Amino acid sequence: MTMEHIFDDVYFMRKALQEAEIAFEKGEIPVGAVIVIDNKIIARGYNLTETLNDVTAHAEMQAITAAANFLGGKYLKNCTLYVTLEPCQMCAGALYWSQISKIVYGARDPERGCINLKTKLHPKTKIKGGVLAEETSDLLKRFFIMKRNLN
Residues in binding site = 58, 88, 91
> What does the alpha-carbon distance between residue 109 and residue 97 come to, in Å, rounded to a whole number?
21
Residues 53, 80 contacting (CB under 8 angstroms): no
DSSP 83: E
From the list 28, 60, 134, 135, the catalytic residue is 60
Has 134 been annotated as catalytic?
A: no
For the chain, the first-to-last Cα distance in angstroms comes to 49
Hey, is 43 helix, strand or coil? strand
Phi-psi region of 66 (alpha: psi -120 to 50; beta: other; left: phi over 0): alpha
Q: Please give the Cα distance from 108 to 130 (Å, whole number).
A: 7
C-alpha–C-alpha distance, residues 110 and 78, integer Å = 28
Instruction: Just list the catalytic residues.
Output: 60
